[in-house]
Amino acid sequence: MHARRHPLRSVTADDLATVDQVITERHTRLVAAAQAGDVSALEAVVAEHLPMLYGVIGRALNGHCDVDDVVQETLLRVVLGLDGLREPASFRPWLLSIAIRQLSACRQRRRAVEQRQVSDDEEEVADPAAEVQDLTVLRLQLAEQLRQLDQASRWLDPDDRRLLRFWRQEVTGTLGRRALAARVGISVAHAGVRLQRLQQHLALCRAITAALSNQPRCRLLAEAVTGWNGETTSVWRKRIGRHVRGCAECSSCAADLIPADRLLPACADSSDQEHTLVRRSPPTMRRIWPPVVRGPHVARTVH
């Protein structure tokens, strides 16, 4: 007698949403248990977020050798500050905010080392006020580019805006390329083509937003938008885009923009519903993580 075979059922969007909800609830329970002193829960929740953490920090530092150090410092502050996290469901954006602060500190240390190497024959007294001012300027510039990125995304078509959300999750390591393709309902190869096209569209939309924000605005651009009511429609996107492409003054407004894949991690927040499944940590992660979770011995890992 042959076993009766059941036909395979394709995965639907409802199935994926259900999985996302289950994973979200599981992470929240793990964080709450870790706050209550469950070391195994702490190890589990951090291990599941390590791929995202390495993805964000690795891209920000371009694979520099400091990546492991920044990850370790971030994890150390997560362990020490977990009790102060009020909402377990906000663990992921809290983790990313810590990572961004550690990246900023790492860049400051590297700049300090470079300055000492340049002026090794001179003794210079650091100006704390200047460092604070530089950091404030950098933060303001980052905030402005994040704001413009959000405005630029409104020029995208609905399908591209949806794909942009998935791309952000891929950049932060919470969604793989195969899962992204499954959510969009296309093949992996087609997903690569769609993402490349999205990046081109987004680059144009960011250039449009930068040109419109420039003051004083280009005279020809001001004439081109006569009668525009501010709505981000495809008709006006094409009309303004044609001008920006052919105008040296307007196109130069986008020259100093941070690449989108480096800005997207900073856009991640608690409204995201996509979370990574448990993955096997690479050797570097396993080497760093065990010393951090030993509690009283954690100070020995900091140099």
Taking the C-alpha atoms of residue 47 and residue 64, their distance in angstroms, rounded to an integer, is 22
pLDDT, position 127: 55
Same domain, 263 and 184: yes
pLDDT in tens, 217-245: 899 999 999 999 989 999 999 999 999 99
Who wins on pLDDT, 48 or 209?
A: 209
| Statement: residue 171 has pLDDT above 90 | no
Question: Is 122 part of a structural domain of the chain?
Answer: no
Q: What percent of the chain has pLDDT over 70?
A: 72
Phi-psi region of 87 (alpha: psi -120 to 50; beta: other; left: phi over 0): beta
The answer to whether residue 126 sits within a structural domain is no
pLDDT at 23: 59
- In this structure, the answer to whether residues 174 and 99 fall within a common structural domain is no
288 pLDDT exceeds 60? no
- Average pLDDT along the chain: 75
Please check whether residues 75 and 163 belong to one and the same domain: no
Task: Flag whether the pTM goes above 0.75.
Answer: no
**Tens-digit pLDDT profile for residues 109-164:** 877 777 777 665 455 555 555 555 556 666 667 778 888 888 999 999 999 999 99
Position 134 scores a pLDDT of 56
Question: Which tokens belong to 210?
Answer: 């930068």
pLDDT band for position 102 (cuts 50, 70, 90): confident
Range of the domain at 282: 12-115+277-303
Q: 65: left (phi > 0), else alpha (psi -120 to 50), else beta?
A: alpha
240 and 291 in a single domain? The answer is: no
DSSP state of 228: -
Number of domains into which the chain is organized: 2
Omega within 30 of 0 (cis) for the link into 216: yes
7-63 pLDDT tens trace: 444 434 454 444 445 556 777 888 888 888 888 888 888 888 888 888 888 887 776
CATH of the domain at 59: 1.10.1740.10
**pLDDT of 107 higher than 50:** yes
The arithmetic mean of pLDDT across residues 267-296, rounded, is 39
Q: Is the pLDDT of residue 197 over 90?
A: yes
Give residue 148's pLDDT: 87
For residue 38 the two structure tokens come to: 């469950």
1 inside domain: no
DSSP state of 253: G
Is 146 among the domain residues? yes
Mean predicted confidence (pLDDT) in 56-71: 79
* 156 plus 249 within the same structural domain: yes
Query: Average pLDDT, stretch 59-73?
Result: 80
The reported pLDDT for the residue numbered 294 is 41
Confirm whether 24 is domain-assigned.
yes
Task: Work out the angle at residue 197's Cα, subtended by the Cα atoms of residues 192 and 201, and round it to the nearest 5 degrees.
Answer: 145
> Which H or E element spans position 233?
none
Contact 274, 174 (CB under 8 A): yes
Q: How far apart are CA 268 and CA 95, in angstroms?
A: 11
| 146 and 248 co-located in one domain | yes
